[in-house]
Amino acid sequence: MVIKNKRATFDFEILQTFSAGIVLTGTEVKSVRGGKAGLSDSYCIILNGEVWLKNMNITAYKEGSYNNHEPRRLRKLLLNREEIRKMESRLKEKGTTLSPLQLYFNERGFAKVDIGIARGKKMYDKREELKKKDQAREIRKFVR
């Protein structure tokens, strides 16, 4: 199960990516495995040398009872200090931000989040990208 943030790749130019572990509770893991999560409005922040994922929506687990989690709580990302230092230095540049790109489970069963250092695209860049996608779609249509 891979949950992608399509909005991030449309709105931002990704400069560098990192793979981070994420701290989840039991009901959150079950909801994510069921595909009940969304990254569309989420972003990452660095507080006291730790990276946190903010505003990620994981729907409450249906069979969770009183042990259920808050859908949009702050979630800690697991990175080593070297990677966090690199991020902090790149984020000092004007117009850069940390954006989650996708959420998945690796081969060992651990939840991972790919986060990217991103710079916002201009409106004309977005229009150009849409034109290229439309042209590629038209070419594929006639090749068949």
The model carries a pTM of 0.81
CA distance linking residue 75 with residue 13, whole number of Å: 24
Percent of the chain with pLDDT strictly greater than 70 = 99
Q: For 47-87, what is each residue's pLDDT tens digit?
A: 999 999 999 988 888 877 777 888 788 999 999 999 999 99
Say how far apart CA 64 and CA 82 lie, in whole Å: 37
Q: What integer is the mean pLDDT of 116-126? A: 88
Average pLDDT over every residue of 2-12: 87
Q: Which of 16-20, 69-73, 77-81, 125-129 has the lowest mean pLDDT?
A: 69-73
How do the domains of the chain map onto residue ranges?
3-143
For the domain made up of 3-143, the CATH class stated in words is mainly beta
- CA dist., res. 105 & res. 131, Å (int): 34
pLDDT tens digit string along 27-51? 888 888 888 888 888 999 999 999 9
What rounded mean pLDDT belongs to the chain? Answer: 89
Nearest residue to 22 (alpha-carbon basis) of 104, 91, 85, 123: 104
pLDDT at residue 112, rounded to an integer: 94
